Each structure stands twice: as C-alpha cells, then as structure tokens.
Amino acid sequence: MGDARDADQTATLLVTCPDRRGIVAALAQLLYGHGANILDSDQHTDASAGQFFQRIRFDRSEMHTDRVGLERAIGEVAERFGMSWRLCDACEPKRVAIFVSRYDHCLYDLLLRHRAGELDCEMVMVVSNHPDLEPVARQFGLDYHVFPISKANKAEQEERELALLEESRIDLVVMARYMQILSGDFVARHPSRIINIHHSFLPAFMGGRPYHQAQERGVKLIGATAHYATTDLDEGPIIEQDVMRASHRDSVADLVRKGRDVERTVLARAVRWHLEDRVVVYGNKTVVFD
C-alpha cells in the first residue's frame, strides 16, 4: 500500500519550447521553490528544428502550494521561454475506450495487460461496429457499445460515438484493429488522443491488404506501427514500431500470424507510454522519453 500511496503523490511535467540557455535551471528552481522533489528528468534537443523537450517526474507530497499555484508559476516560466506544457497527476489515471471490429488479438492483449497491472488506466468501455467481440468485453467486466456503420449512416454514428466518449470523459481512444476510417471531425476533437495500430511497417504497404502486398514483394521483415490518428490516413505521428523476420517460405497466412504478434506488442508499448506521459508530439513526429 505504501508504494501505491507514493505513486499517487507523483506528477509529470512535459514541456516543449525553442531551445535556449537556462530552461533546465528555471524549471528545476521552480519545482524546488514550491517544495517538489524531482524523481527523474529527461530531455532532448532537436538541433535541426531548434526545439527543446523535457519530461520531469516529481513527488508533490511535501509541496507547500496547490495545483493552481503551481500551474500559475509554470505559466509564468512558460511565457518567458515560449513553452508549450502539460502537467499530469498520477492520481488521475486516464480513462480509456478501445475501438475494435472483428479481430480480437489486440483487444485481448490490452485487457490482459491491464488486468495484470501493466497499463495504469481505467478501462471504461469497448466500442465496435460489429457485435462479435461483446463476449470478450463482458469477460473483463466492460460495457460494449455497438454502432453499425455504413456509408449512409457514418456521420450520424460518429456523432453518437463522440457523444458517448464525451459523456464518459474518455481521455484516450485505442483503435485495436478498428477497421474504419475516422472522419476529420472525429480526429480533430481528440488531437493526439487516438492511437491506431497499423498492421504494416509504415510508410510501406499503406491501406488495405498489407500482408498480401508484403508477400508479393518478398519482404524479409514484417512489422507493425502504432501512431496517433490524424486526418491523413496512416500518416500520423509514429509512437512505436517493431519488426519480425520473414522469409521466402512464408505464406500470407504466416505473415499474418507473425504480424499479429508484432501488432500486440507494438500497440501495448505505445499505449503504456502514452498513459505514462512519455510522448510529446511536434510536427508530424514524436519524442518518446525512456
């Protein structure tokens, strides 16, 4: 119980700004001055873009100011350095909705990892355009919502989905092989808060039937890509990628089997890093802190 209480007293500060001298010192002095104890800090400078990124995790149990006061102080430093910043409390786990169609491998993997304590979040619901995976959701005690989608009703059903997400205060949408293209409006209302798993190593083999494309090319590596969804199909900021060896002996079915193994691990890593506030998006890229 002691570790759990300690964890609840931590917070994470993520900052992005033009690179210049004094940023690290200013943030460290700010947190020290408010009674925070820095537990770990990581930083990165993109020299070509002239941008600085930092992730600071700190213990706030002995702070002598409240969150409002801390945010005001951070805001003053941010104005001085032209910073974008985000402050996240560990005591407020993110609320997650998983979107699926008929494939169950990524869904099972995420739910099992959550049950095992690997994903620190509140799994709230599963949303689908098919009824097939309702038994899986029920097995884990989750509500299952079905929104059948056709060309004729897509806009209406998306509005219903969006209303459900807002009502349920969802912080993160995970597309665990959800075989629908989200509209620009849907994505725009959840910027950098929709993670998609693409069953291919982007930017190769985009769109449909990637394993057929890969087999026709005789690939020697099969991979998967987890990225934030944007209005450009399969072109959002990449969070994680991985590959597995393939050979001339592999059929399309072999590639699919290998690909599903990679999809599970890549999606789980991306979701965990997002939940732990390790990802910063800039442009169409990400910085993922260790």
Positions marked active-site: 234
Cβ-based neighbour number of residue 219 at 10 Å = 22
Q: Which residues have C-beta within 8 Å of that of residue 183, sequence separation ≥ 6?
A: 154, 155, 158
Ranges of H-type helices in the chain: 2-8, 23-33, 67-81, 105-115, 134-139, 154-167, 184-188, 210-217, 252-275
Q: What is the DSSP letter of 195?
A: E
Dihedral sign of CA atoms 98, 103, 108, 192 in order = negative
CA-wise closest residue to 155 among 121, 185, 135, 191: 185
Report yes or no: 19 and 45 within 8 Å, Cβ to Cβ: yes
Q: Please give the single-letter amino acid code of residue 39.
A: L
**Rounded to an integer, what distance in angstroms lies between the CA atom of residue 196 and that of residue 122?**
19
- Contact yes or no for 107/98 (Cβ under 8 A): yes
Radius of gyration of the chain (CA): 21
**Cα distance between the two ends of the chain:** 26
Nearest to 219 by CA among 258, 187, 184, 186: 258
Laid out side by side, the sheet with 238-245 consists of 143-146, 122-128, 95-100, 172-175, 194-198, 221-228, 238-245
